[in-house]
Amino acid sequence: MSTLSSRYITAVSRSVPESQRSDVEAEVAAAIEDLTEARLAAGSTPEDAERAVLLELGDPMRLAADYSNKPLYLIGPDHFPTYIRLLKILAATVLPVIGVAVMLGSFLSGGDAGEIISGGIIAVMGVALHIFFWTTLIFAIIERSPDSKQIRAKWDPSTLPDTPPGGVRLGDTLAAVLVALVGIIYLPWQHFSSPFRDANGEPIPTLNAELWPVWIPLLMAGLLATAVLEIFRYRAGGWSWRFVAVNTVLELVVAVPLIWLAATNTLLEPRFVTELVGHGWADAALHLNVSVIVITAGVVTWNLIDPLRKVRIDTAARAKHPRPLG
Amino acid sequence: MIDDEVLAGHQQELRRGTVVMAALATLETPGYGYGLLAVLEKSGLSVDANTLYPLLRRLEKQGLLAAEWDTTESRPRKMYKTSDAGRNLLGTLEAEWNHLATSLNALRSEESNPHLKELP
């Protein structure tokens, strides 16, 4: 037997469990000799015959897997649905928590905007790789354990997600309008009502008094427009691409100034902060600014993504059950 | 026309189970791997060598084939013979095969087709 054939036999037997090794080796050797002999009888040269036979038997790893009944895949159809569901759940829960926690930590320890964002992205990517690797490894091991078919998760119809109905619930609209109105009332109210008074007995506002000519009216106008948009959206029976465009502009009109003012420490009235520090809250400005940034960023991200998810559903629902405007 | 790849896929699916029946039926007369491969080839049931050899080993492990090394010739060969369990299985599979053929023929005949139209 030539070296090519014995190399092939070694390659097959290496991928077969120890207990079957000598038997499989003998079988493959006999098969190669029989097949080669038949080709020689048909008139090919020994080299051509051997080459053709090895090509016919194919990849040694594949042949070994056929002999020992081992899977040629990492995760098979028995466990794949569970594997994908688990990956999705982990990605949706762990990654946002890690991202926010790392960015918050970086902000509190005095990192600049670039450090905070790049640190957050790198941490999320690292954790995502870990989740993917370890989940895949565990499922690959389960796939290869002898009784793995019995631990396959039972599927039940009650776990099906609800079909999104489309359209808007009145409660959602009222809640959104109420939140906008609270904001619109709070902005002027905080200027005249405060727990702290200055030397002349005038109330010390919470927000920087210098924001009045431009920023505060802008925020109020943005909130008012949001409330109006919500009412129109309710009457139209859900999102349309036009509403999505207007919503995006309004969200940014409110969120960008708020985040920028907080990040540059110009949102809060300096005298108000001084009072808080005087009452023992040493890092009041830092804590309040971070809270404003994190909450605003979170809310605006959700408000930008959510309509994109719903716009198709709503459009489809409207096409199926058209409802009169007004 | 039918896509060649689609056709080949369906044919392969249909033939897959028949190889076991062919092997169990042929090996009523004891034989070795290459001999079986040649017989099947000649009878129009061609099977790839890298499918047949592992299949024989699997059938042996399941007790459907009895196997022993024959050392009387110039080099050792593994001789296979259908066992009693293998013969029983072959009988069951043949009954199933005939049942499937009867059912398919009934579906192909004209009288049964109107039933489909009567369904609600």
* Whether residue A197 is found in the same domain as residue A311: yes
Q: Which of A241, A244, A191, A249 is nearest to A222 (CA)?
A: A249
Mean pLDDT of all residues in A98-113:
84
Which residues in B lie closer than 8 A to residue A24 (C-beta atoms)? 57
pLDDT the model gives residue A326? 38
Nearest CA in chain B to A66: B54
pLDDT tens digit string along A150-175?
777 778 888 887 776 677 788 888 99
The shortest CB-CB distance from B34 to any of A31, A57, A58 is to A31
Looking at the partner chain, which of A27, A38, A56 has a beta carbon nearest the beta carbon of B57?
A: A27
Q: Which residues of A touch B53 (CB under 8 A)?
A: 27-28, 31, 63, 67
Residues of chain B positioned with their CB less than 8 A from the CB of A38:
34, 38
Count how many domains chain A has: 3
> Å from A25 to nearest chain B CA?
12
- pLDDT at B30 (0 to 100): 93
Q: Are residues A188 and A312 in the same domain?
A: yes
Structural domain boundaries enclosing B48? 18-111
Are B67 and B60 in contact by the 8 Å Cβ rule? The answer is yes
Cβ of B50 within 8 Å of Cβ of A24? The answer is no
Q: At residue A32, does pLDDT exceed 70?
A: yes
Distance of residue B45 Cα from the nearest chain A Cα, in angstroms = 17
Taking the CA of residue B47 and the nearest CA in chain A, the distance in Å comes to: 11
The ipTM assigned to this model is 0.82
Q: So what's the pLDDT on residue A211?
A: 87
- Give residue A153's domain range: 80-159
CATH number (domain holding residue B60): 1.10.10.10
Would you give the distance in Å from CA A121 to the centre of its chain? 12
Handedness of CA A215, A216, A219, A224 (dihedral sign): negative
Q: Which residue of A has its CA nearest to B50?
A: A57
Q: What is the pLDDT of residue A64?
A: 94
Shortest alpha-carbon distance between residue A88 and chain B (Å):
33
Task: Tell me which DSSP letter residue B69 carries.
Answer: E
Q: Per-residue pLDDT for A127 more than 70? A: yes
Print the SS3 string covering A206-248.
CECHHHCCCHHHHHHHHHHHHHHHHHHHHHHCCCCHHHHHHHH
pLDDT tens digits for range A221-256 = 999 999 999 998 888 888 888 999 999 999 999 999
Q: List the pLDDT tens digit at each of the 120 positions of chain B.
A: 678 889 988 988 888 889 999 999 999 999 999 999 999 999 988 889 999 999 999 999 999 999 999 888 788 889 999 999 999 999 999 999 999 999 999 888 866 566 666 666
Nearest CB neighbour to A63, from listed B54, B75, B77: B54
User: What is the predicted pLDDT for the residue at A239?
Assistant: 86
- With a cut of 90, say whether residue A114 has pLDDT above it: no
Backbone angles phi, psi at A269, to 5 degrees: -70, 125
Average pLDDT, chain A: 87
In a domain, B79, yes or no: yes
* Whether B66 contacts B83, CB under 8 Å: yes
Looking at the fold, whether A115 and A189 belong to one and the same domain comes out as no
Same domain, A228 and A120: no
Question: What residues in A contact B69, CB-CB < 8 Å?
Answer: 26
CA of B93: how far to CAs of A146, B39, B81, B86, in Å?
28, 21, 18, 10
pLDDT, residue B97, reads 94
**A272, A184: one domain:** yes
Confidence of residue A219 (pLDDT cuts 50, 70, 90): very high
Task: Tell whether B75 is within 8 A of chain A (Cβ).
Answer: yes
DSSP, collapsed to helix, strand or coil, labels residue B66 as strand
Tell whether the model's pLDDT for residue A60 goes beyond 50.
Answer: yes
Domain boundary among A131, A159, A187: A159
A58:B51 CB<8 A: no
Contacts of A119 (CB under 8 A, 6+ apart): A102, A103, A106, A111
